[in-house]
Amino acid sequence: MQELGLLIVILILGTILSVYGFSDAKHVGGTNTFLNAENLVGQLATYMAVYAIMAVGQTAVIITGGIDISVGSIYALSALGAAAVLQRINPEAPAWQVLPVAMLVGPGIGAICGLCNGILITTLRLHPFIVTLGTLSIFRGIANVATQGATLPFQGQAIPDAFTTNLVQRYFFEPPDGLGGVQLTPLFIMLAVAVVGWFYLWATVAGRETYAVGGNETAAKFSGINVGRVKRRVYLISGLTAGIAGTLALGYFGTANADYGRGYELTVIAAAVVGGASLTGGRGTALGAVLGALTIRLIENAIFKLHLNQQYSQIIVGASIILAVTIDRLSEYIRKRRLAAAN
């Protein structure tokens, strides 16, 4: 029902933008800039893909009753790590040399950071919010110290074309309005991550253990589930998806710096929660994470297309989290009332 509700919201927002998304403030004689390939794919889908990839990993964490607010910092550190390695490769190097490096270094850094979060949480038995709040600063600090605030690649160096122009920035088709090509690679990678996330959560033992721990950690422990291992695994997944998103952003923009992903943690958590993940644990889906990310990005796009103050997006994202949690608590209350009445 949560996912169906999101689809309805997405359709309503899409309809509004289809009617009012014009290029001029008076909406008279202007061109509808929402219904074109450059906006739908280049602005809406591409940026949504980054949110969605991280939201899939965040959903796995939230299902266990945890939270990871360090994803924005992991995103930046992964992008910088990949850039630091790739800038040392010949810019004309072939894809078979470049792509394995890019897809191992960035996501690898993200996975290591996520695993560190999981180990700290399970070993020190601290609340996930406290641990990831600390690592949010630590990982961002490492990124700043390692680069001295500089943007990578350094002057005179470049990220190989095999990863940027020929892969992530590749033009798959030219829209008829002459605005230039639009990139579909980020969207394809997001769909692949979503499918893998769906399969992991619904068709594997590890996925069912994730729901069991979030539903009732004590019962899961007495059922023989290694709760610590499950938690370490989901934080590793969250870090991995942040690393994938950071590497994708590096290929899309061709540069990286320590300010990448600043504030993304709020958007990613909002996407997961709006998508149906319960902050009390036990509920959430990969599809919901993708729809939540699409809803958040569509709202941001609507604010821009309707010529509203961009600061409203922060208000709306925060309000979306509160509203989603309120609806979740209300539905849980109604569910318990129905169970009590049935018994």
Q: Is residue 337 a part of any domain in this protein?
A: yes
What is the average per-residue pLDDT within 315-339?
A: 81
pLDDT of residue 8: 86
Look up the CATH number of the domain holding residue 130.
1.10.3470
Q: Determine which helix (DSSP H) or strand (DSSP E) holds 183, and give its type and residue range.
A: strand 182-183
Helices 71-86 and 46-63 cross at an angle (nearest 10°) of: 120
What does the CA dihedral 319, 76, 41, 18 come to, rounded to 10 degrees? 20
Would 26 be classed as within a structural domain? no
| Minimum mean pLDDT range among 195-204, 207-216, 315-324 | 315-324
Q: Is residue 73 part of a domain?
A: yes
For residue 335, tell me if it sits in a domain: yes
* Residue 25: pLDDT over 60: no
Contact assessment for residue 132 and residue 70, using Cβ atoms and an 8 Å cutoff? yes
Q: Tell me which of 2 and 261 has the higher pLDDT.
A: 261
User: Which pLDDT tens digit goes with each residue over 162-186?
Assistant: 898 888 876 555 544 444 455 778 8
DSSP per-residue string spanning 111-126: HHHHHHHHHHHHHHT-
Read off the pLDDT of residues 42-83 as tens digits, 9 standing for 90 and up. 778 888 999 999 999 999 999 999 999 999 999 999 999 999
Alpha-carbon Rg of the chain, whole angstroms?
21
- Asked whether residue 299 is domain-assigned, the answer is yes
Inside any domain, residue 122: yes
The reply to whether 47 falls in a domain is yes
Residue among 6, 38, 5 nearest 23 (CA): 38
- Which tens digits make up the pLDDT trace of 242-290? 999 999 999 988 999 999 999 899 999 999 999 989 888 899 999 999 9
Q: Is residue 264 part of a domain?
A: yes
Contact status, residue 42 vs residue 183, Cβ threshold 8 Å: yes
Q: What is the pLDDT of residue 31?
A: 67
Torsion, Cα of 104, 110, 115, 116 (10° steps) = 120
Q: Which domain holds residue 50?
A: 2-21+31-342
Q: Which residue has the higher pLDDT, 220 or 327?
A: 220
User: How many structural domains comprise the chain?
Assistant: 1
3-state secondary structure of 173: strand
- Chain center to CA of 262: 13
Residue burial 27-46, b: 16+ Cβ < 10 Å; e: rest: eeeeebbbebbbbbbbbbbb
3-class SS at 28? coil
10 touches 295 (CB < 8 A):
yes
* Residue 4: per-residue pLDDT: 80
Q: Compute the mean pLDDT over every residue in the chain, rounded to the nearest whole number.
A: 87
Look at the pTM and tell me if it is higher than 0.75: yes
**∠ Cα 250 183 235 (to 5°):** 45
